[in-house]
């Protein structure tokens, strides 16, 4: 195995070096200069993101444990872009005094989880998948507890680590059953051997449950709201966008490559889970007054929509899922970006605080409106196209009633998204959030979201490009 | 460049231009110029259309343009018009133009107001030129969503409640529509071949009857909600009553027509078999709409509510006529859409102007207004007469055609339904004349009314544009009905080729 083979893992290698570089540079900075790590880390990650788009070689490593092709590279690039935006949006928050001691930790922890996600996406067997999953989860708990002097943040950290441990256990149990019944951990081999024997079905259910925890599908969603509310805003946006997107990528790939022979079985499960997730996520989101909690529940509902892409079982489904995640990253980060900008300046996170925001901060308000319209699936912004294609894929499998339930849920979600719009535009407030200007990096991050929300939908080449890489269930 | 694309492009350019304006005066002048150009282009389109037809061009759709958008799913940007769409486009251009002048004095967040209003208009224009159901649906939703802000911010009364109710009900309608569209798409090529969203392509095939039975209610009710189909009309009175003047005009005048237009362009045209089978259910519902709306109008005291209920009645008549599925009635349906669009826009404009002067919309608080604001009073009477179907004005042409067409069915069910629906003419006369009597005639009830000023130039421009159009259709309906009749040909051919009989 020569150096060229190692370059197949370019994404992971560069990312790991970025993490190490940040660590080393931070060690050499004086206490008063710690702030400098912010531009350094972001520029390093920016370079990594750009390199990610250069043509890369594809292939397998370590006897099939690791594989990479156009699709996995695309997924990694999508995540990179999302993470870059998250990092840019966190600048004003990181610069606060309370964080000065631990700025580099934020980058190191966050990028380590991204390494884990990259390995997960590229995994060719369940061992690698599990390793990546753990790498993507454990630093996340530290991130959730980042502002550990606040009880809520510490609580979020411990809740996340406990529930992840439980779900990892369930997942691992499923994997051991799979190994026990097929004698292999490789995706390709298992894919050909899998049947509807009771133990194998059980193994699948355990596996799916473990993944459902990560994506926070109902009824495995209960940890989500508290963790999202307790964590710092930017960490929450990372959880609900990047981490969820990565898990959705892996889930759909494993469902399509490994468990395709029992597709007729898991389609029923996914159907039920999708209906429950959409409906319950939505009904809870209506009642939320804290913006983070509100977006947490709405992102549960969005995860339910993603299930509609998986259930189609064909290429349209996978394309729609990847495309939807891409659109979702931009729309949700737009919303979170506004929340984090406001939270960093004023510390306000309740929906009532947003009353009359349009009069004082029109640009932030417009971005927020675009984002929630995109999340609700209103044309002409990208969210409409994302939802349309997801629902198309479900309809292509003949699931018309599921589509109907989903569109009704989209209407319900429109209600609470409009509540935000109403607060900002219509409600009057005696003490609205005063006008403020965020720093330039944060603003670029916000503008990138606005641009993405507009362009991704109309620019059909993006959809076509994704479609050229995806696949459906091989029968 | 295709002339039809201009109809989407001009509003978008106008919106961009508004962004660069710095004060209220500039904003409204830019809007007026933009929509004025739009009106002129609409006039040119009508002229070009007639020239093409007279030159013997018999293609179903003229000015056809097709560009692939999402090749994998075969989604296109396909545009083209027949006589019906041309008529609807002309209607929209007139109403939007009048609407800009009716909202001349909006001063709160004026830039945002005109942007939302014109965005709404661009959605409506886009809907009428689209031949691809995907883009049609896209434009439909573009037209619906600005309503929330327009009513919520600039409305009056319980505006937040009304705005939310309206948006959610219409979006629930589009949920139904969504399922129908996807169903139609996946059965657009039953004999194999490429799936398509193109209306003309789909109409060449027959969607399997089992699917039609499933999808037709979705499509018809989906559009029906926007067309105020009983019992899904409840958003309409609240929405119209709370909306600012121009929005009521545009919404009742144009947006509700999207429902009627879509109902026959998509639901009935593509699924004629199921339409024949299930028509009886919807005929009953629309008959209720027609009569119930008219009675509802009698019971109301608020001018806007009266007009909103009258819209329910008149739009119900549109759907009623479409369901009769013969040439005469459908011709009447399209004329009724145009006629009601102009009439109701005029009504809402007048109500807005009267309200701006008297600061009340309750009819029993007003009286004798004819003496103080004669111009508005006279226009109100003429609009009222058009609404109750006086010959010489557009309402008569539309209703006459519809009822003649409906009565062509010889069976008892259709005849009874027709007679029931016809009774609305009498009820309409009751509420129109009652309002005119209380509002305009009699003694002046409030001393403040003595000093009211009559219409100023922009109000006159707004109302006269609409009034002239109403009179033009009433005096010379032939050019309009010829245009519609020719284009109805292929649709009627497809519908009447059906062998399945309905329950009645």
The nearest alpha carbon in chain A to B179 belongs to: A404
User: What is the rounded average pLDDT of the residues A392-403?
Assistant: 89
Phi, psi of A174 (to 5 degrees): -60, -45
* pLDDT at site B398: 86
User: What is the rounded average pLDDT of the residues B289-300?
Assistant: 89
How far A296 CA sits from the closest chain B CA (Å)? 22
* Beta strands per DSSP E along A222-280: none
* pLDDT at site A62: 82
Q: Among all chains, which residue has been given the structure tokens 């309809």?
A: A395
Q: Among all chains, which residue has been given the structure tokens 């019906």?
A: B84
CA distance A454 to A383: 9
- Residue A55: how many other CB atoms lie within 10 Å: 6
Contacts of B218 in chain A (CB under 8 A): 404
How far B487 CA sits from the closest chain A CA (Å)? 30
Q: Is the pLDDT of residue B207 over 90?
A: no
Yes or no: say if B119 and B142 are a contact pair by the CB < 8 Å rule: yes
CA distance A336 to A292: 8
User: What is the rounded average pLDDT of the residues B462-471?
Assistant: 86
Q: Is the pLDDT of residue B499 over 70?
A: no
Q: Does B179 touch chain A (CB under 8 A)?
A: yes
Yes or no: say if B393 and B385 are a contact pair by the CB < 8 Å rule: yes
Closest CB to A380 among B138, B167, B182 = B138
Return mean pLDDT, chain B. Answer: 86
Residue B504 domain flag = no
CA distance A66 to A7: 12
Yes or no: say if A336 and A241 are a contact pair by the CB < 8 Å rule: yes
* pLDDT at site B419: 87
* pLDDT at site A474: 59
Contacts of B153 in chain A (CB under 8 A): 425-426
Yes or no: say if B288 and B315 are a contact pair by the CB < 8 Å rule: no
Q: Is the pLDDT of residue B238 over 60?
A: yes
- Which residue from A133, A125, A122, A142 is spatially nearest to A52, judged by alpha carbons? A122
Closest CB to A379 among B72, B142, B179 = B142
* pLDDT at site A116: 93
* pLDDT at site B371: 80
Closest CB to A411 among B71, B172, B182 = B172
Distances (CA, A) of A475 to A181, A192, A262, B191: 22, 11, 11, 23
* pLDDT at site A151: 82
For residue A329 the two structure tokens come to 């990253």
User: What is the rounded average pLDDT of the residues A285-300?
Assistant: 86
User: What is the rounded average pLDDT of the residues A198-212?
Assistant: 90
Q: What is the pLDDT of residues A116-152, one digit of tens each?
A: 999 999 998 899 999 999 998 889 888 888 887 778 8
User: What is the rounded average pLDDT of the residues B175-192?
Assistant: 87
Residue B502 domain flag = no
Task: For residue B294, give every residue at least 6 positions away whose Cβ sits within 8 Å of its Cβ, in sequence order, or none.
Answer: B309, B310, B313, B424, B427, B428, B431
- The pLDDT-based confidence of B365 (bands split at 50, 70, 90) is confident
For residue A391 the two structure tokens come to 């629902």
CA distance B284 to B502: 14
Range name among A104-108, B322-326, B444-448 with the lowest pLDDT average: B444-448
- Contact: B149, A411; criterion CB under 8 Å: no
Residue B152 domain flag = yes
Contacts of A316 in chain B (CB under 8 A): 72-73
- Contact: A391, B153; criterion CB under 8 Å: no
Distances (CA, A) of A329 to A80, A173, A237, B113: 11, 31, 9, 30
Q: Is the pLDDT of residue B455 over 80?
A: no
Q: Is the pLDDT of residue A115 over 90?
A: yes
Yes or no: say if A417 and A308 are a contact pair by the CB < 8 Å rule: no
With 0-12 / 13-18 / 19 or more C-beta atoms within 10 angstroms meaning exposed / middle / buried, residue A345 is middle
Residue B178 domain flag = yes
Q: Does A5 touch chain B (CB under 8 A)?
A: no
* pLDDT at site A117: 92
Task: State the first-to-last Cα distance of chain B, in angstroms, to the nearest integer.
Answer: 49
Report B:190-229 residues touching A (Cβ under 8 A): 214, 218
Hey, is A61 helix, strand or coil?
strand
User: What is the rounded average pLDDT of the residues A215-236?
Assistant: 86
- Contact: A373, B142; criterion CB under 8 Å: no
* pLDDT at site A78: 92
* pLDDT at site A1: 64
Q: Does B176 touch chain A (CB under 8 A)?
A: yes
* pLDDT at site A156: 87
- The pLDDT-based confidence of A84 (bands split at 50, 70, 90) is very high
User: What is the rounded average pLDDT of the residues A35-54?
Assistant: 89
Closest CB to A425 among B70, B149, B178 = B149
Q: Does B172 touch chain A (CB under 8 A)?
A: yes
Closest CB to B179 among A380, A400, A415 = A400
Q: Does B70 touch chain A (CB under 8 A)?
A: yes
* pLDDT at site A231: 87
Distances (CA, A) of B108 to A64, A444, B155, B296, B498: 65, 31, 11, 33, 55
With 0-12 / 13-18 / 19 or more C-beta atoms within 10 angstroms meaning exposed / middle / buried, residue B108 is exposed
Q: Among all chains, which residue has been given the structure tokens 């933009």?
A: B34
Q: Does A400 touch chain B (CB under 8 A)?
A: yes
Total structural domains within chain B: 1
* pLDDT at site A172: 92
CA distance B181 to A388: 11
Yes or no: say if B128 and B88 are a contact pair by the CB < 8 Å rule: yes
* pLDDT at site B192: 76
- Contact: B70, A373; criterion CB under 8 Å: no
Q: Does B182 touch chain A (CB under 8 A)?
A: yes
CA distance B118 to B96: 8
Yes or no: say if B80 and B63 are a contact pair by the CB < 8 Å rule: yes
* ipTM confidence score: 0.89
Yes or no: say if B210 and B248 are a contact pair by the CB < 8 Å rule: no
Q: Does A460 touch chain B (CB under 8 A)?
A: yes
The nearest alpha carbon in chain A to B71 belongs to: A464
* pLDDT at site A112: 92
Range name among A206-215, B187-196, B265-274 with the lowest pLDDT average: B187-196
For residue A27 the two structure tokens come to 């060690």
Yes or no: say if B338 and B332 are a contact pair by the CB < 8 Å rule: no
User: What is the rounded average pLDDT of the residues A299-328?
Assistant: 89
Q: Does A411 touch chain B (CB under 8 A)?
A: yes
How far B172 CA sits from the closest chain A CA (Å)? 6
- Contact: B178, A403; criterion CB under 8 Å: yes
Q: Is the pLDDT of residue B256 over 60?
A: yes
Range name among A399-408, B338-347, B386-395 with the lowest pLDDT average: B386-395
Element (DSSP H or E) covering residue B63: strand B62-70
How far B244 CA sits from the closest chain A CA (Å)? 14
CA distance A200 to B222: 44
Task: For residue A139, give every residue at least 6 positions away whose Cβ sits within 8 Å of its Cβ, in sequence order, or none.
Answer: A109, A110, A112, A113, A116
Element (DSSP H or E) covering residue B70: strand B62-70
CA distance A38 to A105: 11
Residue B88 domain flag = yes
- Contact: B179, A467; criterion CB under 8 Å: no
Q: Is the pLDDT of residue B501 over 70?
A: no
Q: Is the pLDDT of residue B504 over 60?
A: no
For residue B88 the two structure tokens come to 């609807």
Range name among A106-110, A196-200, B245-249, B494-498 with the lowest pLDDT average: B494-498
Q: Is A329 left (phi over 0), alpha (psi -120 to 50) or beta?
A: alpha
Domain hosting residue B72, numbered range: 3-496
Q: Is the pLDDT of residue A475 over 60?
A: no
Q: Is the pLDDT of residue A275 over 90?
A: yes
Q: Is the pLDDT of residue B503 over 60?
A: no
More confident residue, B360 or B320: B320
- Contact: A408, B142; criterion CB under 8 Å: no
More confident residue, A273 or B499: A273
Q: What is the pLDDT of residues A146-175, one digit of tens each?
A: 887 778 888 888 888 998 899 899 999 999
Q: Does B149 touch chain A (CB under 8 A)?
A: yes
For residue A15 the two structure tokens come to 């990312």
For residue B191 the two structure tokens come to 């004999």
* pLDDT at site A81: 92
* Beta strands per DSSP E along B6-61: none
CA distance B164 to B261: 24
Q: Is the pLDDT of residue B502 over 60?
A: no
- The pLDDT-based confidence of A406 (bands split at 50, 70, 90) is very high
Q: Per-residue DSSP letters for B357-402?
A: HHS--BGGG---HHHH-HHHHHHHHHHHHHHTT-TTSHHHHHHHHH
What percent of chain B clears pLDDT 70, i.e. is strictly above it? 99
- Contact: B167, A418; criterion CB under 8 Å: yes
- The pLDDT-based confidence of A19 (bands split at 50, 70, 90) is very high
For residue B184 the two structure tokens come to 């139609």
For residue B34 the two structure tokens come to 């933009």
């Amino acid at each position: 195995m020569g150096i060229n083979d190692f370059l197949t893992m370019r994404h992971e290698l560069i990312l790991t070096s970025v993490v190490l570089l940040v660590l080393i540079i931070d060690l050499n900075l004086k206490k008063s200069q710690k702030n400098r790590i912010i531009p350094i880390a972001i520029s390093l990650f920016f370079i990594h993101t750009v390199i990610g788009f250069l043509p890369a070689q594809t292939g397998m490593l370590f006897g099939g444990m690791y594989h990479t092709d156009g699709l996995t590279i695309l997924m990694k690039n999508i995540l990179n872009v999302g993470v870059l935006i998250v990092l840019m949006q966190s600048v004003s928050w990181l610069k606060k005094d309370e964080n000065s001691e631990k700025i580099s930790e934020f980058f190191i922890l966050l990028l380590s989880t991204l390494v884990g996600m990259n390995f997960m996406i590229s995994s060719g067997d369940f061992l690698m998948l599990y390793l990546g999953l753990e790498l993507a989860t454990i630093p996340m708990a530290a991130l959730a507890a980042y502002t550990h002097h606040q009880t809520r943040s510490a609580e979020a950290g411990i809740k996340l680590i406990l529930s992840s441990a439980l779900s990892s256990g369930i997942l691992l149990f499923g994997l051991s059953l799979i190994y026990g019944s097929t004698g292999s951990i490789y995706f390709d081999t298992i894919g050909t051997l899998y049947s509807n024997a009771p133990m194998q079905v059980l193994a699948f259910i355990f596996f799916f449950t473990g993944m459902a925890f990560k994506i926070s599908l109902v009824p495995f969603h209960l940890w989500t709201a508290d963790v999202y509310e307790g964590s710092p805003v930017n960490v929450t946006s990372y959880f609900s966008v990047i981490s969820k997107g990565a898990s959705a990528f892996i889930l759909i790939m494993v469902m399509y490559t490994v468990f395709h022979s029992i597709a007729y079985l898991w389609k029923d499960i996914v159907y039920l889970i999708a209906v429950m997730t959409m409906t319950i996520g939505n009904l809870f989101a209506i009642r939320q007054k804290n913006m983070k909690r509100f977006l947490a529940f709405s992102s549960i509902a969005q995860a339910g929509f993603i299930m509609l892409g998986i259930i189609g079982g064909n290429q349209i489904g996978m394309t729609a899922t990847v495309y939807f995640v891409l659109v979702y990253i931009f729309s949700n980060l737009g919303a979170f970006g506004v929340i984090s900008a406001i939270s960093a300046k004023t510390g306000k996170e309740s929906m009532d605080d947003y009353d009359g925001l349009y009069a004082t901060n029109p640009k932030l308000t417009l971005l927020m409106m675009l984002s929630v319209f995109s999340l609700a699936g209103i044309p002409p912004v990208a969210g409409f196209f994302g939802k349309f294609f997801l629902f198309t894929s479900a309809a292509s499998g003949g699931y018309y009633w599921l589509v109907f339930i989903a569109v009704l849920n989209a209407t319900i979600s429109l209600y609470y998204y409009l509540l935000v719009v109403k607060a900002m535009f219509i409600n009057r407030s005696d003490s609205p959030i005063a006008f403020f200007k965020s720093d330039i990096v944060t603003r670029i991050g916000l503008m990138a979201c606005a641009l993405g929300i507009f362009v991704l939908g109309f620019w059909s080449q993006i959809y076509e490009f994704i479609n050229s890489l995806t696949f459906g269930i091989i029968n | 460049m295709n002339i039809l694309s201009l109809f989407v492009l001009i509003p978008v350019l106008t919106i961009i231009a508004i962004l660069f304006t710095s004060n209220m005066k500039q904003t409204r002048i830019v809007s007026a110029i933009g929509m004025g150009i739009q009106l002129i282009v609409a006039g040119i389109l009508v002229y070009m259309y007639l020239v093409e037809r007279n030159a013997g061009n018999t293609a179903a759709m003229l000015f056809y343009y097709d560009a692939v958008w999402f090749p994998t799913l075969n989604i296109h940007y396909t545009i083209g018009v027949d006589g019906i769409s041309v008529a609807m486009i002309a209607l929209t251009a007139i109403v939007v133009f009048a609407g800009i002048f009716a909202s001349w004095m909006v001063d709160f967040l004026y830039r945002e107001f005109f942007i939302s209003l014109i965005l709404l208009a661009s959605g409506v224009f886009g809907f009428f030129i689209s031949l691809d159901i995907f883009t049609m649906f896209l434009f439909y939703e573009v037209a619906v969503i600005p309503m929330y802000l327009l009513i919520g911010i600039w409305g009056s009364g319980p505006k937040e409640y009304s705005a939310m109710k309206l948006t959610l009900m219409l979006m629930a309608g589009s949920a139904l529509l969504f399922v129908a569209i996807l169903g139609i798409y996946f059965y657009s090529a039953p004999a194999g071949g490429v799936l398509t969203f193109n209306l003309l392509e789909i109409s060449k095939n027959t969607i399997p009857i089992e699917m039609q039975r499933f999808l037709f209610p979705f499509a018809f009710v989906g559009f029906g909600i926007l067309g105020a189909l009983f019992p899904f009309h409840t958003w309409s009175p609240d929405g119209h009553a709370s909306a600012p003047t121009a929005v009521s005009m545009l919404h009742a005048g144009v947006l509700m027509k999207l429902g009627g237009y879509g109902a026959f362009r998509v639901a009935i045209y593509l699924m004629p078999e199921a339409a024949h089978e299930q028509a009886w259910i919807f005929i009953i519902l629309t008959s209720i709409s027609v009569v119930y709306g008219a009675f509802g109008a009698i019971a109301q005291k608020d001018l806007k509510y009266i007009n909103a209920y009258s819209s329910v009645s008149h739009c119900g008549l549109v759907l009623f006529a479409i369901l009769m599925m013969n040439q005469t009635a459908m011709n009447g349906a399209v004329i009724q859409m145009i006629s009601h669009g102009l009439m109701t826009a005029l009504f809402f404009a007048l109500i807005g102007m009267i309200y701006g002067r008297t600061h009340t919309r309750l009819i029993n608080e007003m009286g004798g207004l004819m003496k103080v604001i004669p111009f508005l009073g006279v226009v109100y009477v003429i609009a009222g007469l058009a609404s109750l179907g006086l010959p010489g004005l557009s309402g008569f042409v539309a209703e006459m055609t519809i009822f003649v067409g409906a009565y062509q069915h010889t069976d008892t069910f259709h005849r009874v339904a027709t007679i029931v629906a016809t009774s609305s003419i009498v009820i309409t006369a009751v509420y129109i004349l009652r309002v005119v009597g209380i509002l305009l005639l009699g003694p002046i009830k409030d001393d403040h009314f003595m000093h009211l000023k009559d219409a100023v130039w922009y109000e006159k421009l707004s109302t006269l544009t609409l009034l002239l159009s109403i009179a033009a259709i009433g005096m010379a309906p032939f050019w309009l009905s010829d245009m519609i009749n020719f284009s109805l040909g292929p649709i009627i051919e497809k519908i009447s080729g059906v062998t399945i009989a309905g329950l009645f």
